[in-house]
Amino acid sequence: MKSRLLIALVVLIFTFMALSGCSKENPPAADPGVTQPEANYSIKYEVINDQDYGTDLKNHSFRVVVAADASDDQLLWLFNKLDNKKYTDVTVWFFSDKKLVDNGDPYDVAIAKRIGRAGEPKITK
C-alpha cells in the first residue's frame, strides 16, 4: 500500500513538473539556414614597410597608409588581416600619407598594438 502511494506521489510530481515546463513559451529558435550578413569593414590600404624587431626578433611592426577618417572597426579589420599570430608582439602604425612614413614622422591616424599571442589588439588615436 505504501509503495502504491509513493509511486502515485512521484507520478503526480513529475506530471506537475512536465506541465509547468510546457506552459512557458520559448522564443523560436534561429533558423540555422539563415545567416546574418557580416559587416564589411574592408578599406583601401598600402603597407609601406614591415619589419621584425626586438632582440629575439619575435616582434613585428607595420607602417600602413589608410584613409584619415578610418573607423576603429576598419582599423581592427586591417590589423587582423596583417596579424598572423606568428609573432609575440605586433604593432601597426596607421598614417594618412606615405610622405609621413618617409619623413619618419609619428603616426597621424592611429596605432594598433597586440601584446602576447593571446592578447587582444588595442587602438590608440
Per-residue pLDDT tens over the stretch 23-82: 556 566 666 666 666 678 889 999 999 999 887 778 999 999 999 999 999 999 999 999
Which pTM does this prediction carry? 0.67
- Distance CA(83)–CA(4), nearest Å, equals 69
Structural domain range at position 95 = 46-124
Per the structure, how many domains does the chain have?
Answer: 1
In-domain check, residue 103: yes
Distance CA 92, CA 45 (A): 12
Does residue 118 form part of some domain?
yes
C-alpha distances (whole Å) from 94 to each of 67, 71, 78, 123 are: 9, 12, 10, 10
Q: CA 77, 114, 58: angle at the middle one, nearest 5? A: 120
Q: Which residue has the cell 619618419?
A: 104
Q: What is the pLDDT of residue 75?
A: 96
Is residue 53 a part of any domain in this protein? Answer: yes
